[in-house]
Amino acid sequence: MTIKRKRIAILTGGGDCPGINAVIRAVAKKAMLEKKMEVIGIEDGYHGIIDNRYRTLDYNDASGILTLGGTLLGTSKTANPYRYALQKGNRLEFKNLSKIAIKNLKNLGLDALVCIGGDGTLGIAYRLFKDGIPIVGVPKTIDNDLRGTDITFGFHSAVSIATEGIDRIHTTAESLHRIMIVEVMGHKAGWIALYSGVAGGGDIILIPEIPYHLQTIAEKVRERNTKGKRFSIVVIAEGAKPKGGDIVIQRFVQESPDPIRLGGIGFLLGKQIEKATGLETRTVVMGHLLRGGSPIPFDRILATSLGTKAVDLIEDKKFGYMVGIKENSLIAFPLKEVAKGPKLIPFNHPMIKASRSIGTSFGD
């Protein structure tokens, strides 16, 4: 009697992030080598499902990619089968193409679809699951803002790049006695700013979770100057905002599940600090640099653990779940809960407490 090989597909959605290829490798290798499954790669996120763009992956596709940044499958931050953007002349029209997506997926005869992505991708994955597709999620984002996991892969690589940026900025800040502002990504959460700010010895760390007062920042900078520290480093999350004020929106991407793109708060704050203190202030925006390049060893290990665990979930037919890490153990977390909003930094986070105790200001 011949046993039918299981067939799974992998899709990557949302922004690129160090470690995606390491997850693809882990899922595909374990599925192929240990479970004798057939593995398909869907191209460009949910676009590939609508357009039937996919390819069978063989062992060589999954090999030699552990250290590579980006995603070999391509990705999309805008494709959403439930609200699919179609260009009509010079305007966009939105259509629910989920029936096409489901039909195409069913035609592929999949035993499971592994969706690697952040809140947008996994929110769509949950809807597909409710519509009958056997889905397993893997949490991906440099922002570390996903519920159900203590850490997302890519986060520590981004922190490491941001920290190197802050270290390098110190040189100019100290030599020219300037205030240097380093703006980092993180969307509506301050995880990257907090971790890189602590690791880089930022004097002031500004995160969305703690709205700041310009006056507090100006006083801190002046106080450092009187104490002989003639420079200050401010690490600010792109989603930070003044108390009673607003976030700075860089652009709207109409066709995206989350259309707001943040960026620019660092420049605004820089002008305000310079005016308030009379001290020369410059801003550097790290932006997409944080998403590029090779994952650090921690993320390679995390990606391998999460990817192989995803295959276990498939074997156990535990669909509608995302793999995650809780207190150093691999867990399965319901996708339904992931979609309930971002995981923000709690007010009493031990790292905030520790930083305050060594004189770091949060601008509040």
Query: Which residues are annotated as catalytic?
Result: 143
Binding to ligand F6P by CB under 6 A, coded x per residue (else -) over 227-256, reads -----------x------------------
Q: Please identify which residue in 8, 10, 11, 15 interacts with ligand F6P, judged by CB under 6 A.
A: 15
Q: Count of CB atoms within 10 A of residue 329's CB?
A: 8
Burial class of residue 272 in the structure, from the number of CB atoms within 10 Å of its CB (0-12 exposed, 13-18 middle, 19+ buried): middle
Gap between the Cα atoms of 228 and 246, Å rounded: 34
Per-residue contact track with ligand F6P, 252 to 281, x per CB under 6 A? ---------xx-------------------
Work out whether 48 is an interface residue with ligand F6P (CB under 6 A).
no
Contact between 192 and 143 (Cβ < 8 Å): yes
Q: Which of 143, 183, 209, 299 binds ligand F6P (CB under 6 A)?
A: 143
Helix and strand tally (H, E) in the chain?
A: 12, 15
| Of the residues 13, 41, 45, 118, which one makes contact with ligand F6P according to CB under 6 A | 118
- Cβ distance to ligand F6P smaller for residue 65 or 247: 247
Minimum CB separation from ligand F6P for residue 342, in Å? 10
Q: Chain-centre distance of CA 209, in angstroms?
A: 17
Specify the DSSP element, H or E, that contains 24. helix 20-29
Single out the residue of 30, 224, 291, 343 in contact with ligand F6P (rule: CB under 6 A): 291
Nearest CB to ligand F6P, comparing residues 142 and 236 = 142
Q: How far is the CB of 303 from ligand F6P (least distance, A)?
A: 16
- Taking the complex as a whole, how short is the minimal distance between the CB of residue 143 and ligand F6P, in angstroms? 5
Cβ closest to ligand F6P, residue 146 vs residue 310: 146
Question: Which pair of tokens denotes residue 71?
Answer: 């995603």
| Residue closest to ligand F6P, measured at CB | 185
Nearer to ligand F6P, 15 or 200 (CB): 15
How far CA 335 is from CA of 57, 95, 185, 236, in Å, comes to 26, 24, 24, 31
What is the DSSP code string of 234-282? EEEETT--BTT--PPEEEE-TTSSS-EEE--HHHHHHHHHHHHH---EE
Contact 240, 188 (CB under 8 A): no
Q: Interacting stretch for ligand F6P, rule CB under 6 A, among 136-144, 196-204, 214-222, 343-351? A: 136-144
Nearer to ligand F6P by Cβ, of 186 and 202: the residue is 186
Residue ranges of E strands in 52-147: 54-57, 84-88, 91-95, 112-117, 135-139
Q: Residue 61 or 183: which CB sits closer to ligand F6P?
A: 183
| Least spacing, CB of residue 238 vs ligand F6P, in Å | 6
Residue 221 contacts residue 178 (beta carbons within 8 Å): no
Where are any strands of DSSP class E within 118-191? 135-139, 179-184
> Residue 52 in 3-state DSSP?
coil
Q: Are 295 and 303 in contact (CB under 8 A)?
A: yes
List Cα–Cα distances, 148 to 52, 159, 330, 332, in angstroms.
Answer: 31, 20, 11, 8
- Give least dist CB 223 to ligand F6P, A: 31
Interface map 180-209 toward ligand F6P (x if CB under 6 A): -----xxx----------------------
- Measured from the CB atom, is 170 or 261 closer to ligand F6P? 261
| Site residues for ligand F6P per CB under 6 A | 15, 77, 118, 141-143, 185-187, 238, 261-262, 291
